[in-house]
Amino acid sequence: MVVGGGTAGWMCAAALSAAVPRTCEIVLIESEDIGTIGVGEATVPAIRFFNDQIGLDEAEMIRACEATFKLGIDFRGWGHKDNRYFHGFGDFGDHHEGISGYQIWRRLRDLGDDTPLDAYSLPTQMAYAGRFFPPNPDPRSPMHNYRYAFHFDASLYAAHLRKHCEARGVKRINARIGEVRLRPEDGFIDGVVLDDGRLETADFFIDCSGFRGLLIEGALKTGYTDWSHWLPVDRAWAVPTERTGSILPYTISQAHESGWQWRIPLQHRTGNGYVYSSRFVDDDAARDILTRNLDAPTLKDPFQVRFTTGHRNRFWSKNCVCVGLASGFIEPLESTSINFIQNVIVRFLEFYPTLNHAPVVEDQFNSLILSEYERVRDFIILHYRLNSRTDGELWRYCADMAIPDDLAARIALFRYGGRTIEHERDSFKSPSWISIFHGQGVVPQTYDHLADRIDADALKALAAKRRREIADIVPRLPAHDQFIAAHCASPAFLKRQPA
Ligand SMILES: Cc1cc2nc3c(=O)[nH]c(=O)nc-3n(C[C@H](O)[C@H](O)[C@H](O)COP(=O)(O)OP(=O)(O)OC[C@H]3O[C@@H](n4cnc5c(N)ncnc54)[C@H](O)[C@@H]3O)c2cc1C
């Protein structure tokens, strides 16, 4: 049984309906009265794999969810007030004889070449030119070395998944759960009591009930680990605005004095929000910052969301696994939350339970999920830690705070020789870490000396070739709007297009 019908609940139901034995009945309970959180509209490229695995047609999904393409995030004011850099979904050129494009760039810098690193990132150049085209799967193509994600309307994505799930036999119950009943003999969940008094039982429960964690916390009392000393933002104001101008193929993250503002372009509107720390700014002032920094009229009043960054102490407890906001939350700076839903589902299927509970399975699952959560946490802390802004208490606090040992070691390693550490399941690989380090001003003392293997003139020629390819390709690609209009426009998009 899946409890909750937000993005997490419907993603779980969709994945289960595609993967578990057909004899397993999947029931999802959600309450339309309670509703969903109403934010969560930017994704990372792995979402394409998820959609593909559950059998969604991409163009159909884009049309149904008013989605647009996302090539990365444009960070403005991060590091220092006038700074701007791009975290693109791609590498800085191909590897040559095992040497990464970044290390080639770093060595060329020692040889007196001051070409900006961004010149080697195709998604960055496409994004800044407002253009979009999908990568070419052929690794010999200069168009292959990048990926893309989506911005979508979260409620439409859940509705799209619901339609998909119901067509595959998932049973949906619209009701409020008033009580979670435990088995007296072992404390496992027996069932949930609905507001009309009905008892719904199941063998296994997936808690997707949002921040309240109805089962995992409300009934099983697993406890919560608070990480807000490392990530102090804890509230957001969110507001949609009218669509304006051409649609950018990227998210904007604009840092302000006490937090940062997102701008997520969709086909029919733009999503905006200001994420801030209540320790450093009050709610009214934060709302004011958001409304003063919008580029179009609002479509409704701003609404507030509160959260505590951290995670449940157990992601799997007895016959319950928590997914989505029920499992914890790391603020939305790199759109990691929906990606984490996907990662937890994949792990759950790898550890798919039997009716005989095996604590070893539960423990192993918990330890793997926790280490994945911690690595995402460290990636987000990195953005705050590498800053020299002095105009807000938030930034001064973050520049000085103690950070996790693993992250401190990663920063030291990069500062020395531009090296990064990758784990198999990392959501953010080396090019992402490099984008943040580089974008926020860290230039390693030295480069990987394996790069000396390639003759300096050959390196210069390789780099020049890559720059020429990008300069040739980008102006010939369609504008993002044109690509949407030709392949996956929603009726709302077409209505607004100039004739
Ligand atoms: C400010 C902010 C911005 C974010 N931006 C992003 C982003 O850009 N990208 C990203 O990946 N993620 C983002 N997230 C996270 C993202 O919103 C969530 O991961 C995603 O929406 C999943 O939410 P959910 O399904 O876990 O919870 P919810 O959407 O809260 O759904 C909970 C469900 O449980 C049901 N429910 C609760 N109690 C009961 C009950 N008693 N009886 C019956 N049903 C019940 C509700 O009706 C609802 O259906 C953001 C989060 C915040 C706070």
Would you say the CB of residue 368 lies under 6 angstroms from ligand 1? no
**CB neighbourhood size of 141 (10 A):** 12
Question: Is 497's pLDDT higher than 90?
Answer: no
pLDDT tens digits, residue range 49-91?
A: 999 999 999 999 999 999 999 999 999 999 999 999 999 999 9
pLDDT tens digits, residue range 281-316?
A: 999 999 999 999 999 999 999 999 999 999 999 999
Which burial class, exposed, middle or buried, applies to 458 when counting CB atoms under 10 A from its CB (0-12, 13-18, 19+)?
Answer: exposed
Q: Residue type at 303? A: F
Is residue 281 within 8 A of residue 257, CB to CB? The reply is: yes
pLDDT tens digits, residue range 120-147?
A: 999 999 999 999 999 999 999 999 999 9
Is residue 181 within 8 A of residue 199, CB to CB? The reply is: yes
Name the strands in the sheet holding 251-256, side by side, starting at the edge strand that comes first in the sequence: 84-88, 72-76, 251-256, 259-265, 269-276, 235-242, 303-306
In this prediction, residues 191-205 reach a mean pLDDT of 97
pLDDT tier at 495, thresholds 50, 70, 90: confident
pLDDT tier at 40, thresholds 50, 70, 90: confident
pLDDT at 313: 98
Question: Is 211's pLDDT higher than 90?
Answer: yes
Please say if 300 is a catalytic residue. no
Ligand 1 centroid distance, CA of 156 (Å): 13
Which burial class, exposed, middle or buried, applies to 292 when counting CB atoms under 10 A from its CB (0-12, 13-18, 19+)?
Answer: exposed
By mean pLDDT, which of 318-327, 354-363, 480-489 is the weakest? 354-363
Ligand 1 centroid distance, CA of 340 (Å): 13
Is residue 256 within 8 A of residue 239, CB to CB? The reply is: no
Would you say the CB of residue 219 lies under 6 angstroms from ligand 1? no
DSSP one-letter string for 10-74? HHHHHHHHHHS-TTS--EEEE-TTT-------B--THHHHHHHHHT--HHHHHHHTT-EEE-EEE
Which is the closest atom of ligand 1 to the Cα of 236?
1
Ligand 1 centroid distance, CA of 309 (Å): 14
DSSP one-letter string for 470-495? HHHHGGGSPBHHHHHHHHT--HHHHH
Report the C-alpha gap between 442 and 496 in whole angstroms: 43
pLDDT at 452: 93
pTM (2 d.p.): 0.97
Would you say the CB of residue 337 lies under 6 angstroms from ligand 1? yes
By mean pLDDT, which of 62-66, 269-273, 375-379, 491-495 is the weakest? 491-495
In this prediction, residues 461-475 reach a mean pLDDT of 96
CA triple 303-307-312, angle to 5 deg: 145
Would you say the CB of residue 273 lies under 6 angstroms from ligand 1? yes
Instruction: Give nearest CA residue, ligand 1 atom 4.
Output: 40
CATH topology of domain 1-41+153-228+307-380: FAD/NAD(P)-binding domain (3.50.50)
Report the C-alpha gap between 28 and 36 in whole angstroms: 14
pLDDT tens digits, residue range 397-449?
A: 999 999 999 999 999 999 999 999 998 888 899 999 999 999 999 999 999 99
Q: What is the mean pLDDT of the chain?
A: 96
Is residue 207 within 8 A of residue 348, CB to CB? The reply is: no
DSSP for residue 99: B
pLDDT at 183: 97
State the Cα torsion 237-238-243-248 to the nearest 10°. Answer: 90
pLDDT tier at 498, thresholds 50, 70, 90: low
Handedness of CA 427, 433, 434, 439 (dihedral sign): positive
Ligand 1 centroid distance, CA of 278 (Å): 21
pLDDT at 499: 56
Which is the closest atom of ligand 1 to the Cα of 36?
29
Identify the residue whose tokens are 């719904």: 200
Q: What are phi and psi of 345, to 5 degrees?
A: -60, -45
Would you say the CB of residue 212 lies under 6 angstroms from ligand 1? yes
In this prediction, residues 314-343 reach a mean pLDDT of 97
Which is the closest atom of ligand 1 to the Cα of 327?
26
Share of the chain above pLDDT 90, in %: 95
**CB neighbourhood size of 265 (10 A):** 24
Q: Are strands 251-256 and 72-76 parallel, antiparallel or unpaired?
A: parallel
Would you say the CB of residue 233 lies under 6 angstroms from ligand 1? no
pLDDT at 450: 92
Ligand 1 centroid distance, CA of 275 (Å): 16
Which is the closest atom of ligand 1 to the Cα of 324?
26
CATH 3.50.50.60 residue ranges for the chain: 1-41+153-228+307-380
In this prediction, residues 166-186 reach a mean pLDDT of 97
pLDDT tens digits, residue range 255-265?
A: 999 999 999 99
Report the C-alpha gap between 451 and 496 in whole angstroms: 51
**Stated length of the chain:** 499
